Structure 1
Amino acid sequence: MSPSDATADAVSAPVPDGGPGTRPAPAGGGIAEGTDRSTGWSTDQEDTLDLRLPDELLALFETGQPCSDDTDTDTDSVTAPDAGAGHGQQSWGDTTAPASSLTPADCDLLDGVAEWGPITTPVGVFQLVPLRVERDLALVSCWMNDPAVSAFWELAGPQNVTEDHLRSQLADDGRSVPCLGVLEGAPMSYWEIYRADLDPLARHYPARPHDTGIHLLIGAVTHRGRGLGSTLLRAVADLVLDRRSACARVVAEPDLRNIPSVTAFLNAGFRFSAELDLPAKRAALMIRDRSLRDLP
């Protein structure tokens, strides 16, 4: 899940941001096996490692039936998306459309991202809409080829480069849900909401059960440099905490070189916890604690 980030108010952070560095999907993004070389840990004694697998993951192993990504494998028919229309009859402006028309709600380990619904933010009504490759590939690929984004996500090139990354997210047994960020009816950002405690990232920091990670990039240049990164990061982190009662922390690992991204996380209420040596980058471990969410 980890593409590196691009600017955060330019936020191209998988503001998760992470950028490449944790998940196997993005170029240079797979986490290799090995010892934890992280340094600078927080002195918070609660940052301990729990190796017990969550019950929902064990259930997947028992049934042997991973979730389907429910995407169209016919990529020959992919065309550039129309900003005014979505999948089928779904309009991007219609944020109240049934979640079931977007993606299977019972196929993720994140408490049904497709059903989280729209939220009102200081910059307008915002919604995470689970991604569909046949509908969204051309748009996301275009964003990935922006130099400000590709410097950290490393997914520039023909559409199949982005497609491979997206399909790897969708085929990940529900541990990651890639989404478009739709603001006031228009898609303007790409997000990955993922189970950090079930991700290779967990080998590199003291993960806690149900830690939820965020990756983000803001696509349109016109939306960058205006503070949108911080505003939307705070809103989505609050959304995660509101919709996932078992989650006590939202985490991210932006590239340390991506100062705008790190700054956006800090302005969104995340705290800097540690520096992480990940296979593809040196990252800043950013954490938004449920217990501290009301602090400015």
Structure 2
Amino acid sequence: MPPTDASANAGAAPVTDTGTTSPTARESRIGPAADAGADSEDTLDLHLPDEFVALFAEDTGTDGKRSLGATATAGQASASAASAATVEGTGTGTDKTTATCASETPPASTAPNPDDLLGDVADWGPVSTPAGALHLVPVRIERDLPIISRWMNEPAVSAFWGLAGPENAIEEHLRSQLLGDGRSVPCMGLLEGTPMSYWEIYRADLDPLARHYPARPHDTGVHLLIGGMSDRGRGLGGTLLRAVADLVLDKRPACARVVAEPDIRNTPSVAAFLTAGFRFSAEIDLPAKRAALMIRDRSLRHLM
């Protein structure tokens, strides 16, 4: 997931997010970590052991829901044989896989999903905002690619995201997340049921971004693009960012901070984060930009 940012436009300025052209380009341009003086925590080592990565091997459907990978599936098959479990098929949308067992094991839907690094964003549900109910729905390529592609090709958006081009290039950007290990989930933002924004919710502590600031375990990052022209320039960025940041903290108890890294030159974006209760932590040099590291702390969420 590219280092991108959100903005709530001031005046006619668009609410956009910045980013590199592709996940591959991002990975290849990682440089030295930023000065640790920005925080007291050490930066995490992002190189996961091969055996750990194998545990998160997965098949992802176009609806954004993930099924367990080969390793986990094999383990479940053995356990099912031992306990005479009957497992129903997984559907699309918000359908869940359920299980009934001869033993007293609770249904699978009541237990955390170990194959999900973000706590199953698809099940977070809508959140109330002063602008209406916002629902983050994981991207489905066949449904959402045309509108995301149209947004990405608008000049005001492409200047920061860097994803302008044919649909197949944008599709690659989306699939790299949907078919990845679950550390990033691309979502459509529905405000009162209407698609109007694109989001990326990601594990900042497992992202290349963590090499540029003192990351802490379970730091969660957000990227936002407000796509519709009619939704820009009326202060929605700050409103929606606050709601989503609080949603992350509510749904991810292990996460103590929500982070973002808007381009330091994108003053509407920085202003949106400040409005949303983020604090400015430091300026950091990323491969594609100089960024403002913005942080929303769980401990300060009711004060800012």
Which interval holds the TM-score relative to the shorter structure?
A: 0.7 to 0.9
Question: 1:125 and 2:133 equivalent?
Answer: yes
Calculate the TM-score normalised by the size of structure 2: 0.77
Aligned to 2:274, what secondary structure does the other structure show? helix
Contact 2:7 2:16 in 1 (8 A): yes
Contact 1:193 1:214 in 2 (8 A): yes
Q: Residue in 2 aligned with 1:201?
A: 209
Give, in whole Å, the separation in 2 of the partners of 1:52 and 1:151.
29
Give, in whole Å, the separation in 1 of the partners of 2:152 and 2:257.
28
Give, in whole Å, the separation in 2 of the partners of 1:113 and 1:147.
30
Give, in whole Å, the separation in 1 of the partners of 2:163 and 2:264.
19
Q: Residue in 1 aligned with 2:2?
A: 2
Match of 2:30 among 30, 33, 39: 33
Q: Residue in 1 aligned with 2:94?
A: 98
Give, in whole Å, the separation in 1 of the partners of 2:225 and 2:50.
32
Give, in whole Å, the separation in 1 of the partners of 2:43 and 2:154.
38
Aligned to 2:201, what secondary structure does the other structure show? strand
Q: Residue in 2 aligned with 1:71?
A: 62
Contact 2:6 2:223 in 1 (8 A): no
Q: 1:10-40: per-residue Cα shift (whole Å, max 9, x none)? A: 3212xxxxx225x9528x544523322x359
Give, in whole Å, the separation in 2 of the partners of 1:52 and 1:154.
25
Q: In the superposition, relative to structure 1, how do residues 99 and 131 fare at CA in structure 2: closer, same or farther (>3 Å)?
A: farther
Q: Residue in 1 aligned with 2:102?
A: none
Give, in whole Å, the separation in 1 of the partners of 2:5 and 2:256.
24
Q: Residue in 2 aligned with 1:49?
A: 43
Calculate the TM-score normalised by the size of structure 1: 0.79
Shift of 1:2: 1.9
Larger radius of gyration: 2
Contact 1:3 1:153 in 2 (8 A): no
Matches within 5 A, 1:1-296: 1-2=1-2, 4-5=4-5, 7-9=7-9, 10-13=14-17, 19-20=18-19, 24-25=22-23, 29-30=26-27, 32-36=29-33, 38=34, 41-42=37-38, 44-45=39-40, 47-51=41-45, 60-63=52-55, 66-71=57-62, 98=94, 100=96, 106=113, 107-296=115-304
Q: In the superposition, relative to structure 1, how do residues 6 and 177 fare at CA in structure 2: closer, same or farther (>3 Å)?
A: closer
Shift of 1:50: 4.2
Q: 1:216-244: per-residue Cα shift (whole Å, max 9, x none)? A: 10000110111100000000000000000
Give, in whole Å, the separation in 2 of the partners of 1:196 and 1:68.
22
Q: In the superposition, relative to structure 1, how do residues 142 and 3 fare at CA in structure 2: closer, same or farther (>3 Å)?
A: farther
Give, in whole Å, the separation in 1 of the partners of 2:124 and 2:193.
16
Q: 1:108-148: per-residue Cα shift (whole Å, max 9, x none)? A: 31001000001111110111000011110001000001111
Q: In the superposition, relative to structure 1, how do residues 184 and 7 fare at CA in structure 2: closer, same or farther (>3 Å)?
A: same
Q: CA RMSD in A?
A: 2.8
Contact 1:130 1:179 in 2 (8 A): yes
Aligned to 2:187, what secondary structure does the other structure show? strand
Aligned to 1:68, what secondary structure does the other structure show? strand
Count the aligned residue pairs. Answer: 259
Aligned letter for 1:48?
A: D
Q: 1:238-264: per-residue Cα shift (whole Å, max 9, x none)? A: 000000000000000111111101110
Give, in whole Å, the separation in 2 of the partners of 1:212 and 1:147.
28
Q: In the superposition, relative to structure 1, how do residues 286 and 5 fare at CA in structure 2: closer, same or farther (>3 Å)?
A: closer
Aligned to 2:247, what secondary structure does the other structure show? helix
Percent identity over paired residues: 61
Contact 2:31 2:287 in 1 (8 A): no
Q: Residue in 1 aligned with 2:100?
A: none
Q: 1:166-219: per-residue Cα shift (whole Å, max 9, x none)? A: 111112210000000000000100000000000011111100000000011000
Q: In the superposition, relative to structure 1, how do residues 284 and 141 fare at CA in structure 2: closer, same or farther (>3 Å)?
A: same
Aligned to 1:255, what secondary structure does the other structure show? coil
Greater share of residues in helix: 2
Aligned letter for 2:8?
A: A
Q: In the superposition, relative to structure 1, how do residues 156 and 62 fare at CA in structure 2: closer, same or farther (>3 Å)?
A: closer
Q: Where does structure 1 lack aligned partners over 5 or more consecutive residues?
A: 14-18, 73-89, 91-96
Aligned letter for 1:20?
A: G
Shift of 1:279: 0.7
